[in-house]
Structure 1
Amino acid sequence: MSIVRDPDWLFQAFANLLANAIKCTPVGGIISARCTQLNDKTCFSVSDSGPGIDPAIRIECSKDSTVRN
């Protein structure tokens, strides 16, 4: 996903990822948020020990990805 320096959109996207991780991670689970630099790109990721996305709807979720130019 590419984002052209829209700080409000970036904040909302990252906040949504964190909120989802918090909501879906069981008590005592682990949430990890990372920010890494790779050449001229900054990568953000959030992972958690929750159950994940149901495989039956995983493909549908990937169709809703948004690319900002």
Structure 2
Amino acid sequence: MSSLNTHQHAAVSLDDTSDTPQRASLAGRKTARQRTLALTVASSAVAAIAIALGLPSMGIAVYLAATLPFAFFS
């Protein structure tokens, strides 16, 4: 019974800031991921419109340029 670790499941006081850097890092990653996803969705729409208007090389160039962040930073 002495090997039970109950303190890791205990409630944390509101003024405890020991995990603030970790939370900030996770929030930053989430924001970057959302921004990259929004950029990709928007550029896919622009590429589809460009292809539909008869500019296939422009549409493909826009799509490739927008998906490069996923290739390099994922």
Query: What is the TM-score of this pair, normalised by structure 1?
Result: 0.34
Higher RCO (CA 8 Å, separation ≥ 6 residues): 1
Q: Is the strand fraction higher in 1 or 2? A: 1
